[in-house]
Amino acid sequence: MDCLFCKILAGEIPSAKVYENQWVYAFRDINPQAPVHVLVIPKTHIASADGINAENSAAVAHIFEAIPEIAKVEGLVNGYRVITNCGEDGCQSVKHLHFHVLGGKKLPEKMG
């Protein structure tokens, strides 16, 4: 499968790892939009939020269990934002489900 984040998971493309467990991998976004910008992905390929279903939704629970751990190691004591872009109108550019964790400063209120 020609998926950029599957290649990162396979170690074929280097990434700056922040966190990893059996189900989840997190790494620094190549184009950070905040002082802390981490991408959290499932180790199983799910194309987007629109591909979540009863069979694979445990992967999402694992991601949201990992996020507070990631926030802790990244020092996001004042809070942070979690975003997933989905599909064309959501401006999703990589077709492997990922959650952006953004923080390290007061983020803009409006998201457009």
Q: Which of 29, 52, 81, 82 binds ligand DGP (CB under 6 A)?
A: 29
Select which of 37, 62, 98, 100 is catalytic: 98
Q: Which of 47, 52, 94, 107 binds ligand DGP (CB under 6 A)?
A: 94
Is 98 tagged catalytic?
yes
Instruction: Please say whether the dihedral angle defined by the alpha carbons of residues 77, 30, 61 and 112, taken in this order, is positive or negative.
Output: positive
Only segment of 24-32, 63-71, 74-82, 103-111 that touches ligand DGP (CB under 6 A): 24-32
Going from the C-alpha of 103 to that of each of 18, 52, 58, 72, 86, the distances in angstroms are 14, 26, 25, 12, 21
> Which of the 8 DSSP states describes residue 35?
S
**Interface with ligand DGP includes 102 (CB under 6 A)?**
no
**Interface with ligand DGP includes 85 (CB under 6 A)?**
yes
